[in-house]
Amino acid sequence: MEQISVRLVVLLLVGVLVIALTLHAPEVGTALVGATTVVALLAQFTGRE
């Protein structure tokens, strides 16, 4: 069995927190999704991972 990396655990925890925040305050969740999309697109366009 592969060892789970720290990065994966952090991403999972952040995902759970964002889902909980989105359920509690939808407008904040929408803003987070928009910001994440912009950052992901910028990372793709600049070639960084």
CA atoms within 13 A on the CB side of 29: 12
Q: Would you say residue 49 has pLDDT above 60?
A: no
The torsion angles phi and psi of 6, rounded to 5 degrees, stand at: -65, -35
Residue 1 is predicted with a pLDDT of 46
In the chain, the percentage of residues whose pLDDT exceeds 70 is 92
Q: Which two tokens stand for residue 48?
A: 């960084």
Confidence of residue 10 (pLDDT cuts 50, 70, 90): confident
In the chain, the percentage of residues whose pLDDT exceeds 90 is 0
Give, as one character, the DSSP assignment of residue 19: H
Residue-wise pLDDT tens digits, 15-31: 888 888 888 888 988 88
